């Protein structure tokens, strides 16, 4: 049977609506409003680079201009969210915690081998010591353990055994992050961090697979089995394929063909009523996004949806970079219009804009430039700077 092709504009619209990027970012950005946002997104990725603001703060600020970092700290303190791994370190809505036990068990097995190959050996012998130290004296960070251990080369991969033990016990679910100071994690026993109603939940692997695929489909709208597996990264591609096959047979999924920016239709799955869901029209707001925004983090999907090729150049030697160290994607409405290189100089109270590269076919008229400058000013407010400084020839 030949499937009709869903137009790219419709696919893009659904994608942005489900990632809360169609509406104007005018909510409170704190308390219940922020918690609802995190429940809808399900998680936001953490990242340490603070060129303007850290990734998780930029993700939330793009959807709520009034958002400030202390609001997320409050959700963490109130135990409405927890920190763990999806595809990377993330802040996750607490309602998902019970399903992370499958990931804890799998990570506990897999990371013993990986950490031995990646970090130094000897961390397993530190488990009991680290757990007793936290049990007796309370939360600690990596600087509080392993005082007598050789620190090695100092490279980010060269953890001393007790630091590796802390990270392993966190990934295995025995410890949880109770707070951060700066970007440094403080760990406590999981039973002292996670609320009992979530701590005591137990699900079968089948229930967790269903939860992972269902929530991923709800957030993506249209997806392949591989995209469903990669969304949370707590189940395997084979488990996602089997789930899709069963849902398809039961009539709870349909197959669809999606138009792409490259003009090559792509087969995906969707709910039977996906096109019946009413959507608001995307606002024309210009937004500066984190490179790790959930709407963009799947780089291949981003290229299919927006024709926007983006790669992080943090690890690229400066002379070989096409754009810059940490360049931010810029969206207008439902279109990617360019990327911007800017940095908050907090000591001088200045947001320095080095360059903006418009996408091919994007004309930077006076109205669009003004909207971009307004977006830059909003990002400056998030970063805690009040003055803007534009390099000569910044508009490429």
Per-residue pLDDT tens over the stretch 141-157: 988 887 776 655 555 45
**Alpha-carbon span 232 to 243, nearest angstrom:** 15
Weakest-pLDDT range from 245-249, 279-283, 376-380, 390-394: 279-283
Which residues neighbour 75 within 8 Å (Cβ) at sequence distance 6 or greater? Answer: 34, 35, 38, 81, 91
Task: Please state whether the predicted TM-score (pTM) of the whole model is above 0.85.
Answer: yes
Positive or negative, the Cα torsion across 15, 17, 23, 25?
negative
Per-residue model confidence (pLDDT) at position 4: 83
Asked whether 214 and 231 are in contact (CB, 8 A), the reply is no
Per-residue model confidence (pLDDT) at position 152: 56
Residue 80 pLDDT more than 70? yes
User: Where is 117: in which H helix or E strand?
Assistant: helix 100-118
Q: What is the DSSP string of 48-91?
A: ---SSS-HHHHHHHHH-TT--HHHHHHHHHTTSEEEEESSSEEE
Per-residue model confidence (pLDDT) at position 164: 87
Residue 263 pLDDT more than 90? yes
Residue 351 pLDDT more than 80? yes
Per-residue model confidence (pLDDT) at position 213: 98
Which residues neighbour 61 within 8 Å (Cβ) at sequence distance 6 or greater? Answer: 25, 29, 53, 67, 378, 379, 382
The domains located in the chain, with CATH, are 119-194 (1.10.10), 286-390 (no CATH)
Q: What is the mean pLDDT of residues 59-69?
A: 97
**Alpha-carbon span 349 to 380, nearest angstrom:** 9
Q: What is the mean pLDDT of residues 59-63?
A: 98
Among 158, 180, 212, 207, CA closest to 42: 212
pLDDT, averaged across the chain:
93
Q: Are strands 350-358 and 387-390 parallel, antiparallel or unpaired?
A: parallel
**Alpha-carbon span 65 to 383, nearest angstrom:** 12
3-state secondary structure of 316: coil
**Alpha-carbon span 284 to 337, nearest angstrom:** 12
Q: What is the mean pLDDT of residues 171-176?
A: 97
Per-residue model confidence (pLDDT) at position 113: 76
Q: What is the mean pLDDT of residues 250-256?
A: 97
Q: What is the mean pLDDT of residues 285-303?
A: 96
Per-residue 3-state assignment (H helix, E strand, C coil) for 356-374:
EEECCCCCCCHHHHHHHHH
The beta-strand segments (E) located in 1-154 are 5-6, 43-45, 81-85, 89-93
Per-residue model confidence (pLDDT) at position 150: 64
Q: Where residue 282 falls among pLDDT bands split at 50, 70, 90?
A: very high
Per-residue model confidence (pLDDT) at position 306: 97
Per-residue model confidence (pLDDT) at position 278: 86
Rounded CA Rg of the chain: 22
User: How many CA atoms lie within 13 Å of 395's alpha carbon, on the beta-carbon side?
Assistant: 11
Give the whole-number percent of the chain exceeding pLDDT 70.
95
Which residues neighbour 225 within 8 Å (Cβ) at sequence distance 6 or greater? Answer: 237, 240, 241, 243, 244, 269
Condensed to tens digits (0 to 9), the pLDDT of residues 101-145 reads 999 999 998 888 777 665 566 778 888 999 999 999 999 998 888
Q: What are phi and psi of 146, to 5 degrees?
A: 70, 30
């Amino acid at each position: 049977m030949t499937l009709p092709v869903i137009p790219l504009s419709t696919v893009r619209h659904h994608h942005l609506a489900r990632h809360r990027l169609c509406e104007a970012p005018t909510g409170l950005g704190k308390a219940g409003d922020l918690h609802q946002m995190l429940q809808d997104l399900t998680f936001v990725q953490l990242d340490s680079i603070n060129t303007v603001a850290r990734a998780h703060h930029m993700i939330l600020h793009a959807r709520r201009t009034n958002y400030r970092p202390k609001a997320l700290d409050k959700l963490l303190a109130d135990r409405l969210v927890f920190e763990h791994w999806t595809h990377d370190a993330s802040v996750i809505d607490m309602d998902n915690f019970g399903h992370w036990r499958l990931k804890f068990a799998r990570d506990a097995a897999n990371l013993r081998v990986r950490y031995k190959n990646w970090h130094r050996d000897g961390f397993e012998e530190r488990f009991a010591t680290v757990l007793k130290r936290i049990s007796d004296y309370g939360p600690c960070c990596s600087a509080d353990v392993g005082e007598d251990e050789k620190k090695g080369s100092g490279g980010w991969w060269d953890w001393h055994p007790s630091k590796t033990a802390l990270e392993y016990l966190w990934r295995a679910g025995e410890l949880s992050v109770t707070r951060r100071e700066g970007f440094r994690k403080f760990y406590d026993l999981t039973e002292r961090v996670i609320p009992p109603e979530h701590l005591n939940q137990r699900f079968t692997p089948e229930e967790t697979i269903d939860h992972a695929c269902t929530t991923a489909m709800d957030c993506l709208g249209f997806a392949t089995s591989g995209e469903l597996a990669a969304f949370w990264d707590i189940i395997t591609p084979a488990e996602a394929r089997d789930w899709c096959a069963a849902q398809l047979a039961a009539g709870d999924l349909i197959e669809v063909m999606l138009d792409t920016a490259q003009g090559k239709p792509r087969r995906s799955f969707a709910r039977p009523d996906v096109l019946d869901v009413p959507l608001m029209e995307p606002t024309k707001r210009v937004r500066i996004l984190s490179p790790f925004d959930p709407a963009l983090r799947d780089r291949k999907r981003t290229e299919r949806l927006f024709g926007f090729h983006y790669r992080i150049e943090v690890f690229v030697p400066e002379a070989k970079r096409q754009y810059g160290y940490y360049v931010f994607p810029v969206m207008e409405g439902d279109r990617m219009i360019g990327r911007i290189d800017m940095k908050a100089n907090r000591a001088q109270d200045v947001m320095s804009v080095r360059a903006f590269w418009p996408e091919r076919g994007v004309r930077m008229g006076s109205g669009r430039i003004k909207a971009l400058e307004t977006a830059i000013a909003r990002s400056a407010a998030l970063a805690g700077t009040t003055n803007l400084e534009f390099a000569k020839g910044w508009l490429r």
